[in-house]
Structure 1
Amino acid sequence: MRAMTNTDNKGFVRPVETYTETDFGLYMSRTADHPRFHHLESWLLPGHGLRVSIFHFVAGHDTGQRLYLDVGRFSGPDERGRWHAEDWYLDLIDVPGRPLELVDVDELLEAHHAGLLTGDASVRAVAIATRTLVGAAEHGHDVTAWLESTGAPLSWESGR
């Protein structure tokens, strides 16, 4: 039986409404207790090194972003049915009508300098971000079209 929970990197355990496993990843939908958004939908895509999320913002906090992509190592399920996520600091922001924006390069460099991220993981993070930027650009700056072309057709409960 699934626990139907999501544990973040600080150890907070939150209930999950929906988990859906596919051959290319894991979809999760849950409410959020955050001051800027009330609901979160995410896909873990191990083969792409990405977590792709939609934040459902509360009034007055919408940034115009469609998707938020975290770069890292994502895997699962393990022998107990759990999925794992390791964030490698680089993020990409998808705003309709604009190229993806790469952010938090400074965080990646600081994490590496502090010994929190190996050189190998840092290089892989840059490669994942570069592949994603190029893939989206080759599909008219549509990251979802690129993901679909690679065998990862994302679907969302919210219909986005």
Structure 2
Amino acid sequence: MAAHPVKTERHDTVRYEHHTNTGTRRVSIYRETPGGLYVARPFMNHPRIRHWQAHLLPDLGVQVCRYDFHGEREHDYYLDVATITRDGHVWTVRDYYLDITVWDGLAANILDTDELNAAHDEGLLGAREYAQAVGSAHRTLNALAAHGYRVNDWLAGHGLTLHWDAETANA
């Protein structure tokens, strides 16, 4: 596994721009929520994904995503383990490689541990961030299991209710 730097994304809520490692994309919706920030945007020319929605949840250290696929749904939720910060109208997501796919009410899987380990081994991720990523992933996965892999039940335990745009809500 080739190591790569931590993916850092920025959301400029004034300019409606999502800055990623592959470029800048126009965002349809930014909406502040009690737990963080809601984002929705189309995926242009993507072979599998048509639309993306996400809730940036800084206190939980995750970005909860839902994708609208061109074909069959691959999962209900996709969680990025991350540090999420805000500086004025710019939100920054520092994605720590680990992801959790959730089939709501059924199961969850953790992904990309090999990417996390490679980045740490190559010195692209320090011991503190490595431990933070692993700890956050374990807490999240254990909490999901304790709530029967129901994302809404897990979040309700934190006083959060996520709202998704109906036009792309297929999960």
TM-score by length of 1: 0.91
1:52-63 matched pairs, under 5 angstroms: 52-59=64-71, 62-63=73-74
SS of corresponding position for 1:21:
strand
- Aligned letter for 1:74? I
1:23-80 Cα distance to aligned partner (Å, 9 max, x none): 3110000011221111000111100110111111112x532x000000011112x13x
**In the alignment, is residue 38 of structure 1 matched against residue 46 of structure 2?**
no
How far apart in 2 are the matches of 1:137 and 1:62?
A: 21
How far apart in 1 are the matches of 2:16 and 2:156?
A: 27
Q: CA RMSD in A?
A: 1.5
Identity %: 35
Give every structure 1 segment of 4 or more consecutive aligned residues whose post-TM-superposition deviation is greater than 6 Å. Answer: none
SS of corresponding position for 2:90:
coil
User: 1:48 is matched with which residue?
Assistant: 60
User: 1:71 is matched with which residue?
Assistant: 81
Q: Quick check: 1:68–1:92 contact (8 Å CA) kept in 2?
A: yes
SS of corresponding position for 1:151:
coil
Structure scoring higher RCO (CA < 8 A, sep ≥ 6) equals 2
Aligned length: 155
How far apart in 2 are the matches of 1:35 and 1:48?
A: 31
Of the three residues 72, 87, 93, the one matched with 2:95 is 87
Greater percentage in strand: 2
**Which residues of structure 1 form unaligned runs of 5+?**
none
How far apart in 1 are the matches of 2:145 and 2:35?
A: 22
TM-score by length of 2: 0.85
How far apart in 2 are the matches of 1:117 and 1:143?
A: 28
